Structure 1
Amino acid sequence: MQPMSLMISLFVFGLHMLPSLISGLQVVLGHTAMISCNRSCSTVAWMRNRIPVVRFVEGKFTVAPEFESRIKFSSDNLKKGNISLVITDTVYNDRSWYTCSCDGHEGCDQYLDVLLPVSLEVAVGDQAKLPCYSDTNKLTPESNGSIRWEKNDALVVKLKHGEMEFGAGFEDRASVSKAKYSNGDLSLTINSVKIPDAGLYRCFHLSEKDTYPEVINLIIKDCSSSNVIIVLAVIIGILVLPLLHVCHGKLLPACLRLKAPPEHIAVPVADVK
């Protein structure tokens, strides 16, 4: 490969990898993202890929149509030096670079990444297996594995230096496999799932490498109500069937009499004198 072609290839590769190399902000699709910025200024403009998102000039707010009703920007916070941008109900195309212009001076650059959750449905009392995979060193001994699982930003289980640490409510129920770490399998197992276990789970490889899937939405299905309906149906069936049988036995002769042909019906004959 020619030197110039090699440089161009490396440049393009660098542009592709830049967002993942720089610490950015991650938000789950549909959730709220806040891009922090603290500056003292009188005019503010937030831009997405150099395209205006919101402007505050001479006391007037202007919001881009695609962000209409999804932007929270407080003039009171502006007076306190907080010009952070809040985007509610995030959509996938919100992922991009955001830059703030404060009195014409740009700063607070931040890359917003929108994560797509994968849904997993499990019945109450069953075992849940939440998949997660990442690039790991095949030669890493079990004692050096590093995994962290969180549910709604709270610790579920952490594996580090061969020891496991558990979050509240997951003791003796949650686990990750030390043996499978070298295969890139960081999956989480939760035994005897409960209704409160429902939520958004994230897997982190402590070497900060990417993991897949990025977010899992665990849905807990309560089968107790359907079980009650089934039991009631069985009970009703047990009670009703004998009654139908008895009624059928009593009504059958009457039905046969009604359906009997005319010649079988006795007709009284008057005496002939």
Structure 2
Amino acid sequence: MKNLKIPLVSLLKVLLITLVLSPAAVLSFTSTKVKLHEAASLPCYQTCTGLVTWAHKDDILAQCDQTSCQSEEGFQMSHDEYLKGNLSLTITEADFSKRKWYTCKCDGEGICDVSLRLEPFSYPLSVHVGESLILDLPIPDDVEVTVKKTDGPTTFSLCKIEGHKAWCESGYKQRVSVSSNLRLKEVKNDDGGIYIIRDIKNDEVIGMYTVTVNGTKRDVSDVEGTPPGHTGSVAATLAAVLGALLVVAILVIILLFVKNQKLKKCLEHAPVGMQQVQQQEQQEEQVKHEPEAVLHIAVMETEDGQEIIEQIKIQQDEADPLLETDSPVNPPSATEEPPLSVPVSESCSQYSDSQTRVFN
């Protein structure tokens, strides 16, 4: 019997050493903690020449082999690092829905288990008396909101949400409503303090709001509290509206510029210019106002003067044969005037009315 015990002990030692040194048997447990919405790296360093997979339960999130890597949206693996023995998984943006255990396997054998955790967020809020305070709840269920008053060491449970049902402190039931957030109506001065959000299932504080209450009212209905990374929607909307108005203004300016250029071009090629019209009008005005020639010669008023005038007329008639022609010469009618506006080309037809008004 003694001789049989020695080989059995030796065999157990060999088996134990084999299990310890075998890569498939080495399973590491660790956790990674990052801030909300930051990238997270789940570490795993092992040499694996076969297929490497990262999964949560039965959901495969990423995998690599000797040729390439594939991953689901929000998860990444590096093929170059895989060939070097770095099998780490990267989560591009960590949030509370990704707080899970993740398992890395080499050819179906678990080699790494990593838990993703998030650092508690801290968000300050300032409200006025009479307003409503709205606290965002990062997880929809199994959450508790506790309050630590500013004016004392008292800490109490404000509301607890389990099974999508809320149980709130009796003194706050009339003022508190819970959905995807917690709303506290008609804020009072003594409602200031630290509001702590706790994950009941994991017994973990996930965030807190430091609320300051101002003693005066204002014309604002609600003040919302959201974790970092959830703000900025109002600014984005305002920027979009201003951008649209700027585009419309630029288009209007371009349209007016094009029309102005076309009008200038039509006016340059017009048959009658403004300067010619003005000169013609000035000449007509001068003709109308010229005084008639009046002879103030005393001799012409005598009988001898009258005889002299008759003799001059007879001599002029004899010397001018054109006055004896039978064909009458019709002088141009004083009422006929050359037109001041002429038809414009088709390209300038849209400006014809305005030109006619200017020239007439």
Would you call these one fold, judging by a TM-score over 0.5?
A: no
Compare relative contact order (CA 8 Å, sep 6+) and give the higher one, 1 or 2: 1
Greater share of residues in helix: 2
TM-score range (shorter-chain normalised) is: 0.3 to 0.5
TM-score by length of 1: 0.36
TM-score by length of 2: 0.28
Bigger Cα Rg: 2
